[in-house]
Amino acid sequence: MSNATTLLQGVTEDHSSYNQKADSQTAGALSFPREGSPRCHSLWLSVDRVLATVLFTDIVGSTEKAAALGDRSWRHLLEAHDATVRRNLTCFRGREVKTTRDGSLATFDVPARGVRCACANADEIKPLGIEIRAGLHAGECEMIGDAVYGIAVCTGARVAALAGSGEILVSETVRDLLAGSGLRFRDRGIQNLKGIPGEWRIFAARREEQDPGPLSEVRRANTDAQGAKLRRRCSSLAQSLGLTQTGRRPQV
């Protein structure tokens, strides 16, 4: 089971609990509240429906790598992974919604930032000896507190579940929204997404050909410097863990 699926199950369970609570709060009502009434206002006040891009990521083969490394070394590796993910979320103005120990769900107000964030994560995490996969979709989501719900979230998780090692997949919706952005994609064909009606055309980000986006010279210099520092730290950590660039311990 992928971590995107695990995150999706958590979101679904949270949504189910929310619906049960809402049902209990309105049980016994004989009619819908009158539009504009205080009761109607209170029912909708906590739900904010917004257009957002959702990004799911998870570490490929995390269970096997954790077993091979042992608890302490795996924990250090995850700390380096989490630091990279959160630094890039800050850089690309994303919002962390939920995490497992080896996966994450984040939202962005602009899809280009989400794709560039996913690409940056994949490139900067690889020197640690691990790889991630990611999936993105854009649509209307319900924001309730710090949580995010809706069919768009479920779709993003299913897109991520199709991704291979180091791959960034997006729905056709995301690809179409990014026309003129400088981001390039490879057609992965029509796919069925488990539990999602219809057929979906999926695209893979062509990371080696990406336009870096409208970064200023100062920001680009700062980003390059931070990236170089992170790569040195990742290389040092990988060496201390006895990992090769493929994430395996060298044969003795």
User: What pLDDT score does 135 carry?
Assistant: 98
Contacts of 199 (CB under 8 A, 6+ apart): 190, 191, 192
Instruction: Pinpoint the alpha helices (H) of the chain.
Output: 3-26, 38-45, 62-69, 71-91, 111-125, 151-161, 172-177, 217-240
Q: What share of the chain is helix, strand, coil (3-state, %, to 5)?
A: 50, 25, 30
User: What pLDDT score does 77 carry?
Assistant: 96
| CA-wise closest residue to 246 among 148, 165, 189, 185 | 165
In angstroms, the CA 104 to CA 126 distance is: 17
User: What pLDDT score does 61 carry?
Assistant: 95
CA dihedral 82, 85, 86, 91 (to 10 degrees): 160
Structural domains in the chain, sorted by start: 3-10+48-240 (3.30.70.1230)
Q: What is the mean pLDDT of residues 20-36?
A: 38
Confidence class for position 48, pLDDT limits 50, 70, 90: confident
pLDDT tens per residue, range 230-242: 666 666 766 776 6
Checking if the pLDDT of 246 tops 80, the result is: no
Whether the full predicted model's pTM is greater than 0.85, yes or no, is no
Checking if the pLDDT of 56 tops 50, the result is: yes
User: What pLDDT score does 100 carry?
Assistant: 86
- Strand bridging mode 103-108 / 48-59: antiparallel
CA distances from 81 to 103, 126, 201 (A): 10, 10, 30
